[in-house]
Structure 1
Amino acid sequence: MQFRLGKNWRKASWAQKLLCPLMLVLGWGVGMPSTIAAQTVTIRLGPFQQSVALADLEKFAKTGRLPQGLELLSPVLNSQVRELLTKRLEVNPAVADRFIDNLVRSPGGRQFISSLGGVIPGSTAESIKATLNFALRQANGFSALSFLRAYPGENVTVDATKAVGLAVDLNPNNLQSQAFGVLLERELSVASSIPFKAAFDPAGLGNQVVQEQTIVLNDRQRNRTIPVDIYSSQNSSQANPENPLVVLSHGFGANRKFLSYLARHLASYGITVVAVEHPGSNFDAVNRASDKQNLAQLLPGTEFVDRPKDISFALDELAKLNTQIGQLQGKLNTEKVTVIGHSLGGYTALTLVGGELDLEELRKFCKDSLNIGEAPGDWLQCSATSLRDRRLKVKDERVKSAIALNPLVGNLFGKKGITQITKPVLILTGTEDALTPALKHQIEPFTQLRGEKYLLTAIGGTHLSISDPIYPQSAATTIVRERRGEETKSLRQLTKGVSLAFIKQLTPEAKIYKPFLTPAYAQSFSTPELPLRLASELPASIKRWLEPVEK
């Protein structure tokens, strides 16, 4: 899927569109520091080659004006390229060594370095690592231009054709998250020679027979038709009135079946689960969009308000149903609710539990900082800028806790919106999530939470690793590599156990389930291919990575 980047981008030539990802790649560094700095850059676009003096590129990046002799390149050297030439990667210099070490240990990092070998003919993995190490120690950060100044030899040749595929999958935020993942795996590990043992495992199937039914709710005031699937125990006498009602919110371009395996699991323990379909951002809505390159058609800004309102409206209607004679009577505890959401549904869950949108801060980011090097989730959030408000609250007091799986957060809540959340929250992050990269969308927001909190980390997990294996993968999510199915089975098992234990904290059985919200329990599901970690607080060694770089 391609998102519309603006009028100038739509008119860009094929050469411009090749060069922008190229400059992103350059901004992440190759080569080796040398006393002989490159003087020219040769851009290779298939059979086409053009050499550009580095000094002229620097003048262009600084002033936006093309020096004499470069006018012929004006269709290629546009404002987007200028922005990417100066875009900087900032990592605290104190952790530069560990950043490189962790990067080369992660599968995604190794793939990135290997791919760069094809982008920069003649480079080696050692030269790439050496240059990154050198550049990350610079106080002013690392950029494409700072790399070019240090590249050995008088000329550096770049194969732009091979750079195209790296722009989305290996964006800066995603690459930082991959390197950070190795640190999380090590620092959040618990060392014990005694395997985790308990009287039962909440990841195993419960003893109650599950029934499923679908009802359709009509919100006439907002002209929204909202189908919901209800999962509950078949035996009404076994319904526990202390259990909260669980509401599932799917992600952008998905539907209410996305987490059906989790819904059935929770219902097997007597917890009623309601999976809500959001009509403005589900699979059908995205598929119906007449212009799929227009982000405003794919995701209207109003959807950031309508989604939480869908759930509040559903709770109003279910409260009425709870008093009526029938299979669901007494099973719909709408006054004590846990919302579980994935991706855009994770955003939805966080707003309902108290997160406040900072639309003024979001507009500033989308206007001044957004570029093609950002992750798809960072582009998607900018749909909300069409809303008129400066700040926005859609909190529902009936929602007592939230589970946010790979949530879309980014800049939606500004610097303080997440700090308004004081109720229990569990966040899942995958360190190779290229759509909503871990650091920006999950880990930094986790540190801002003010209530009881848990961070479940899948080292090497991707955006859809949590999804039901039988759920079809849509075209909207095939732009990046995903790890699903059998290779992420351990993550889904752990998610079932941890989710049940987290939800049970709202009941008199809280102490019984508390041992399953521990690092040892999470680590018991780890595999060499997919290490799993759980933490309620990040240690100081990790927090150092999140400290802002001093200018």
Structure 2
Amino acid sequence: MMFSRFTHSLINPLTLPKSNYRHLPSYFALIIVQISCCVGLVGGWTKKVVAAENIILNYGALEFPVSVKSLETYATTGKISGDLKSYVRFLNPEQLQQFQVSLTTSVKFDHLAIAQFLYSYQGEKILQRVSSVIQTKARQPGFYAIRSALILAAADTANGGLTPLNVVKKFPTKTLRIDSRQGLRIIKDLSRVAQINNQAIAAVEAQAVKERQNQTANVFANNNWDLGIPGRYAYSRQELVMKDSSRDRTFNVDLYLPKARKNTTLPLLVISHGLGGDATTFIYLAKHLASYGFAVAVPVHPGSSSSQIQALLSGLAKEVTPPAELIDRPLDIKFLLDQLAKDYGKQIDTNNVGMIGQSFGAYTTLALAGAKLNWSTLKRDCLNYDDSWNLSLLIQCLALQLPPSSANVDLQDRRIKAALVINPLVSSVFGQENIGKIGIPTMIVSGSSDSVTPARAEQIIPFTWLTTSRKYLVLLQGGTHFSTLGESSGSIPVPTQAIGPNPKIAQRYIKQLSLAFFSNYITQQSQYANYLNSAYGSVISNEQMPLSLITSLDQAALDTSTKLATDN
């Protein structure tokens, strides 16, 4: 959670003085950099008319001006001049360096692609939040001005492209106003969210230590602990085309088939990619599991694949993903299993299936596992979205745009016998009641630095909602929403800082844990149960991205950690 962690490292908003105005200048650099960094991920397109020359930090009736020229001088030379001196003198050398670097840090996105995103539902929701802080000279919300500035900055590659400084310079009025009260309120909210999230993460790590005290790692002697090495089976890959005439929907599937003994029925696993993914996103995992004798099917969901995102960014689609994808994705898997049973019935066991999903694919997996859409939690949370910093609600709340008939669609498929979900988005779309109805073995994988599907809200708390005794929570310390994704030629590039620590570490974890999980629950090899505990988690844990694995977590422990965070 880069944005939250950076703001929290500079300032603890919970200790902000309530009436001492002399502290306000020390927060100016923080606000302008953080707002610019935040909106530097989105944008819009208009004809350039004028450029910002001054920034005014408003705090009630008080105004604190700074010239764009002084920011530019500091960014390029490191020289603190003019009115900027009043605002940065409270920062230490490390913070000053962060400030300077942040001003010219570029996010690589094409300006037309950004324009398309900003006209989508998700893009406009983000802009509305940002425009409550960044205003025009006339004190009006800067919605359209921000959209203009962002896209103009992205198009200006000669001057660094989409950087916070360039965004400010492209703002289409001579004066840019920042509502510091709202800005500080946002920083305070983000810091509070980060504190609560971190306390929940600490509770998981403490539980892992507690569980490990009653376990032994001796069973992993003689180098039999590393389930990340390739298996002994060769395999082939087939490209299938699925045509579901009942929905007028066609999608592709990559099918990996191990070259096992004759007259052997292969166990089947299905991998569902996340938003903007494709058949190559988890190719590393499909190959690994196939080498251990699993048939692996990897469908491409057409309404939420990399092709859909490319269509949006090229102007051929109006949405990041249509609401109907919430229904179509699980139905894709049902249709796939029907077709595999028809065409490969003697070769593949389609009645005892393991399912893997990441992000939107994790939603897909849990819907098939028995979690139903929860209209009451959706209405409650989506109506109050402006009070939330959970970005995944931008996808979850699409469910409210579905036609009433969607409520009658049965998405559960009882052929799914075990589910492994990575970075799931579930808190509102399913809610506690319906997550509790999942009765199959379930493993949830979470990243502590996931800013898209926050660990506490979308994985840690939902883990406590599971009522099945066969449940596991895996926490990757420092892991982000993108850590487990493999390289994909068709996907939109993700900024390095958003990926987090070495993704190869996270990918190896997924190979090891998925093999143990499905070997135990799909192929009924009970010896693999020894790998599904905190002791094994500590054996494979890498210090660059420490891993914690737990099988239980007391809701009271989370409640206590939340109270401690909010009281501090």
Please indicate, yes or no, whether the TM-score normalized by the shorter chain is above 0.5: yes
- Which of 300, 303, 309 is the aligned partner of 2:331? 309
Give, as a single letter, the amino acid of the residue that structure 2 aligns with 1:538. L
Residues 185 and 459 in structure 1, CA contact (< 8 A), matched pair in contact too: no
TM-score for both structures, normalised by structure 1: 0.67
Residues 217 and 314 in structure 1, CA contact (< 8 A), matched pair in contact too: yes
Which structure 2 residues correspond to residues 113-152 of structure 1 after superposition, within 5 A? Answer: 122=90
Question: Do structure 1's residue 500 and structure 2's residue 553 form an aligned pair?
Answer: no
Aligned to 1:48: 55
Question: Do structure 1's residue 420 and structure 2's residue 440 form an aligned pair?
Answer: no
Residues 41 and 158 in structure 1, CA contact (< 8 A), matched pair in contact too: no
CA distance in 2, matches of 1:548, 1:361: 23
Deviation at 1:544, TM superposition (A): 3.4
TM-score for both structures, normalised by structure 2: 0.65
CA distance in 2, matches of 1:345, 1:119: 46
Question: Do structure 1's residue 453 and structure 2's residue 468 form an aligned pair?
Answer: no
Aligned to 1:7: none
Task: Out of 296-305 and 28-37, give the one that drifted further.
Answer: 28-37
Question: Do structure 1's residue 253 and structure 2's residue 276 form an aligned pair?
Answer: yes
Classify 1:354/1:438 alpha carbon distance in 2 versus 1 (closer, same or farther; 3 Å): same
Give, as a single letter, the amino acid of the residue that structure 2 aligns with 1:49. I
Deviation at 1:515, TM superposition (A): 0.5
Q: Deviations over 1:455-491 (max 9, x none)?
A: 11101111111112x335844744962126xx23333
Aligned to 1:524: 539
Fraction of identical pairs, as percent: 28
C-alpha RMSD of matched pairs (Å)? 4.2
Classify 1:459/1:25 alpha carbon distance in 2 versus 1 (closer, same or farther; 3 Å): closer
- Which of 177, 197, 202 is the aligned partner of 2:227? 202
Aligned to 1:229: 254
Q: Deviations over 1:93-151 (max 9, x none)?
A: xxxxxxxxxxxxxxxxxxxxxxxxx99873679xxxxxxxxxxxxxxxxxx9xxxxxxx
Residues 171 and 375 in structure 1, CA contact (< 8 A), matched pair in contact too: no
Give, as a single letter, the amino acid of the residue that structure 1 aligns with 2:327. V
Aligned to 2:244: 219
- Which secondary structure state, in structure 2, belongs to the residue aligned with residue 415 of structure 1? helix
Aligned to 2:143: none
Q: Gaps spanning 5+ residues in structure 1: where?
A: 1-20, 54-68, 73-117, 126-143, 145-156, 324-329
Aligned to 2:208: 188
Deviation at 1:30, TM superposition (A): 2.8
Query: How many pairs were matched up?
Result: 424
Give, as a single letter, the amino acid of the residue that structure 2 aligns with 1:245. L
Residues 177 and 432 in structure 1, CA contact (< 8 A), matched pair in contact too: no
CA distance in 2, matches of 1:372, 1:33: 20
Question: Do structure 1's residue 432 and structure 2's residue 454 form an aligned pair?
Answer: no
Classify 1:495/1:545 alpha carbon distance in 2 versus 1 (closer, same or farther; 3 Å): farther
Aligned to 2:488: 471
- Which secondary structure state, in structure 2, belongs to the residue aligned with residue 316 of structure 1? helix
Give, as a single letter, the amino acid of the residue that structure 1 aligns with 2:364. T
Classify 1:235/1:435 alpha carbon distance in 2 versus 1 (closer, same or farther; 3 Å): same
Aligned to 2:374: 358
Q: Gaps spanning 5+ residues in structure 2: where?
A: 33-52, 64-85, 94-131, 133-176
Classify 1:481/1:507 alpha carbon distance in 2 versus 1 (closer, same or farther; 3 Å): closer
CA distance in 1, matches of 2:459, 2:18: 41
Which structure 2 residues correspond to residues 325-364 of structure 1 after superposition, within 5 A? Answer: 330-364=346-380
Question: Do structure 1's residue 482 and structure 2's residue 465 form an aligned pair?
Answer: no
Classify 1:331/1:533 alpha carbon distance in 2 versus 1 (closer, same or farther; 3 Å): farther
Q: Deviations over 1:193-224 (max 9, x none)?
A: 96662463432211111111111010111111
Residues 59 and 179 in structure 2, CA contact (< 8 A), matched pair in contact too: no
Residues 342 and 406 in structure 1, CA contact (< 8 A), matched pair in contact too: yes
CA distance in 2, matches of 1:41, 1:498: 49
Residues 277 and 306 in structure 2, CA contact (< 8 A), matched pair in contact too: yes
Deviation at 1:183, TM superposition (A): 4.3
Classify 1:269/1:479 alpha carbon distance in 2 versus 1 (closer, same or farther; 3 Å): closer
